[in-house]
Structures are given as structure tokens and as C-alpha cells.
Chains A and B, each alone.
Chain A
């Protein structure tokens, strides 16, 4: 079974609008972390936001917020006030925390295009 599912291969958003990128995850471990990364066409992987499974509040970092719904196992990324520079591939990822080590899983990504 897929550990991380991103169901939107491509998304379009108007500049200055908000957009939500979906991510669902699958784990039976009680301790895990959820990440979002941005990968522009230049190839680097830019860390955006992190949510720990025990964090009570949704993570926020500037224009990025993570809508963490633990019971539904979803960790959607919300980008407010989209900018042209937000056009990129966005990856959701999960780290499973185990005594024997941590496993990392990435989703297949969502390509976001911001339209002027």
C-alpha cells in the first residue's frame, strides 16, 4: 500500500489566491512526522513545513500552513496569497519513527502552476 498519497498530479491557481494541496498518509506507528517540500525546476528540494504526530496545533510557516487531521490521516498544505514563484513541484513526505530507525516515504508530488 502507498504510504503517502498525493491525488493531484497538477494544480492551477490564480496569483494572490489560496490553494490546498492534498496529502494522505498510511501508518500504524504512533510517532511520525509529516513534511512538505517544494522542488522548483532547478531541482533543489526546499523544506517548507513540518508537523509531528503529537503536535496539538497545526504547523504554520509564513504563507504555508499544514491542515493536520490525524483521524483522517491527512496533512494538506495550504498556500495563501499565491505568488508566481510558488510554481513548482510539491512533495508530501512522512517519517515513521521506530526504535530500529526512521523510514522516510515521499508522495508522487503535485505540480503547481500559478497563473498571473
Chain B
């Protein structure tokens, strides 16, 4: 069965650079969620989209932005990167309705040096 696809899987950037992470949800899933997981921590919800509209916002820094496109894929744009942004970034997808299971992608490991 098709799963959530994330690219790239690994990314190394320097401080103050920008990064773009991509997420392709499971086919027919219309809702995408972004999470940040620091080393040894639980995932923190950043932002979600339903039918290409932002549906909820968590602890996403102002330096980050995201959008969902017409084909339902989503991109997380991160600017002015800081060392503390080094983390595993997960994308997850689900059906907006009926509400149910949420599946995660393999994650993008971002390292900021």
C-alpha cells in the first residue's frame, strides 16, 4: 500500500540558510500535518492543512511557513535556520472526514551546522 512520502530524507544546512521539505500524502488523503521531533523528545505539532487550506496551527515559528498544493502535496519552508531547528521533521496524512487514522512519513532529518 502507498505510504506518505517525504523528501529529502536527510538535509544539512548552515545557520541562516533556508530549507524546503516536501510531503506527498497517501492517495485520497486530503489532510496533512507537520511535526518537529527534537532528539529524545516527543513530536511537536507544527501546522496542518485540510483541502489546501490551513486548518490548525501549533508551535510553528514565524520563520517557518507551509502550504498545501492542488495535488495535496505540502511543503514546509524554513528560513533563517538556527542550530535549534536541527530535528526530525515528520509529515503525516489522514482523511479529513471521516476522522480516523493518521499515518506518518519516514521523516526528514534536518541538521543545521
- Residues of A that sit less than 8 Å from B by CB: 31, 33, 35, 37, 43-47, 50, 52, 91, 93, 95, 97, 100-109
Contacts and interface: CB of A to CB of B under 8 A. Distances in A.
A101 B42 contact: no
A65 B35 CA distance: 26
Q: Give the secondary structure class of A's interface.
A: strand
Interface of B: 33, 35, 42-45, 48, 50, 55-56, 58, 88, 90, 92, 99-104, 106-107, 109
Contact of B56 (A44, A45, A103, A109): A103
Given A31-B99, A44-B106, A97-B99, 10 more contacts: A37-B104, A45-B43, A45-B104, A47-B104, A91-B42, A101-B55, A103-B56, A104-B33, A104-B35, A106-B45
A33 B99 contact: yes
B98 to A, nearest CB: 9
B42 A45 contact: no
Contacts of A102: 48, 55-56, 99
Contacts of A50: 100-102
Contacts of B104: 37, 44-47
Contacts of B58: 103-104
A106 B44 CA distance: 7
A100 B101 CA distance: 19
A85 to B, nearest CB: 18
Contacts of A93: 43
